[in-house]
Amino acid sequence: MPRPISASISRAAFAHNLATVRRHLAAAAATAGNAPPRIWSVIKANAYGHGIERAVAGFSESDGLAMLDLNEAVRCREAGWVGPILLLEGFFQPADLDLVSRYHLTVSIHCDEQLRMLEAARFSRPVDVFVKLNSGMNRLGFKGGYFLAAHRRLSALQQSGVVGSVGSMTHFATADGPEGIADQATRFRAAVSGLEGPLSLCNSAATLRFPEYAADWVRPGVALYGASPFNDQTAEQFGLRPVMTLRSELIGTQTLDAGEAVGYGHRYRAERGTRIGVVACGYADGYPRHAPTGTPIVVGGVRTQTIGRVSMDMLAVDLSNVPDAVVGTPVVLWGEGGPSVDEVAQAADTIGYELLCALAPRVPVHGVD
Ligand SMILES: *Cc1c(COP(=O)(O)O)cnc(C)c1O
C-alpha cells in the first residue's frame, strides 16, 4: 500500500477558471467597446505544479500557452497543442533557436544578446516575437529608447524573413498592491505608440483588477489554477475554483494529557486533555514546514487546525472538534472541501503560488473530471 497522500487535478476546474477569466475580460472589453483580449494561459513551472499534459488538456479552449522552458514547450506540442506557445524568457543560446523554429514557438526578446543570436540565425520558417519593455519591474526587458531600437532591429529581420510578427509586452510589478499598474501601463502605452504588432500585458492580478488595461493578449497564471494573486481578495470572490486538491488520511491518533507536548521541539503543549491526529503529509510532500500551530486543515469534513511542527512525513492536527476521527479518516490539506491553498500559504507566511509549485514529486497526482 502506498502512503495515503495524493493530489487530484480537476480538468473541469481548469476549464471553469479559464471561462471565468474570459467572461471577466469580455465584460470590461464590452464596456470599453473593444474586442476581448486573447489569453496566454501561463503554464510555467510544470503548470504551477499541476502537470504540463494535464494543463494542455484543461486549457484546450485557451488562445495560447506561455511558459519558460523549451522542453515544456516541446511537451505541449507532443501532447497535441497546435496553438501559439510563448516562451516568456525567450531563448538562452543559439542552439535553442532550431527548436524554436521547428516547434513554431513565439519568443520574448528582452536583451541585446538575444537580438544578436537572432540576427545570426537562419530559419526555414520565420519566428514570431514579442519585444519586452522594462516598464519598471527591472528584471527583464529593454528600457525606453533601447526598446524602440530593438523593435527596429526586429522589423529589419522581419523584412529578411527571419522574424514573423513583432509584438510588444511588459510585466507589472505591483498589480496586486495599492500602487496598481497605472505608472507602468502609461510607460508601456508611450513606448508602443506608433508601433505595429500585438500588445501583451496583464498577469492574473492585473487581469482581475484592471481588465480595462488588457490589450491584445493577457497572461494570467495563478488565477487559472483557482488561487488568488491578492492577499486581500480570495479566489472564490472572483468565482474561481481550486484545480488542485491535496488529500491524505489520518495514520494515527494520540490522546495527550494536560502538559504533554507534540512533535519535534515540543512546540505545542496541551493545556488540557486533547485528542490529536497524525496526518500522512509533511514538508517532503511540499507542505510548508513554516505552517504554525493554527494552520487550517479539514479532517473528516470538519475544519480544524494543525498543531506543533510539521515533520518531513507527518503533521499533527487537533481532533477536539472531530471526535469520530480515526485512522483512515480523510484529510484535505488544501483545495476542494478543504482550506484554500492561499489560506495555508498565508498562515505559513508565503503565497499560494509557492505551495502549488512545490508539490513534491513523491506525491501521486491523478486527474479527475
Ligand atoms: C508568471 C508570469 C505571468 C503570470 O503571473 P500570475 O501572477 O501567475 O498570473 C505573466 N507574465 C509573465 C512574464 C510571467 O513571468
Please compute the mean of the pLDDT values over residues 261-277 and round it to a whole number: 96
Atom from ligand 1 closest to the CA of residue 222: 8
Q: Is residue 357 predicted with pLDDT exceeding 90?
A: yes
* From 44, 268, 283, 287, active-site residue: 44
Atom from ligand 1 closest to the CA of residue 176: 7
**Is the CB–ligand 1 distance for residue 141 below 6 Å?**
no
> Sign of the CA dihedral 230, 232, 238, 244?
positive
Per-residue pLDDT band for 124 (boundaries 50, 70, 90) equals: confident
209 marked as part of a ligand binding site: no
Q: Is residue 1 predicted with pLDDT exceeding 80?
A: no
Sequence letter at residue 89: E
For residue 133, the 8-state DSSP code is B
Residue 132 known to be catalytic: no
**Is the CB–ligand 1 distance for residue 24 below 6 Å?**
no
**Is the CB–ligand 1 distance for residue 108 below 6 Å?**
no
Q: Please write the tens of the pLDDT for every residue from 332-350.
A: 999 999 999 999 999 999 9
SS3 360: coil
Burial class (CB in 10 A: 0-12, 13-18, 19+), 146: middle
Domains and CATH numbers, the chain: 11-233 (3.20.20.10), 244-368 (2.40.37.10)
What pTM does this model have? Answer: 0.96
Residue 44 known to be catalytic: yes
**Is the CB–ligand 1 distance for residue 221 below 6 Å?**
yes
159 contact partners, CB below 8 Å, separation of at least 6: none
Q: Angle at Cα 344 formed by Cα 269 and Cα 47, nearest 5°?
A: 145
139 marked as part of a ligand binding site: yes
* From 48, 103, 146, 264, active-site residue: 264
| CA–CA distance, 295 with 183 (Å, rounded to integer) | 37
Q: Please write the tens of the pLDDT for every residue from 201-244.
A: 999 999 999 999 999 999 999 999 999 999 999 999 999 999 99
- State the pLDDT at residue 123: 87
Please compute the mean of the pLDDT values over residues 295-305 and round it to a whole number: 98
Q: Please write the tens of the pLDDT for every residue from 12-33.
A: 999 999 999 999 999 999 999 9
Atom from ligand 1 closest to the CA of residue 169: 13
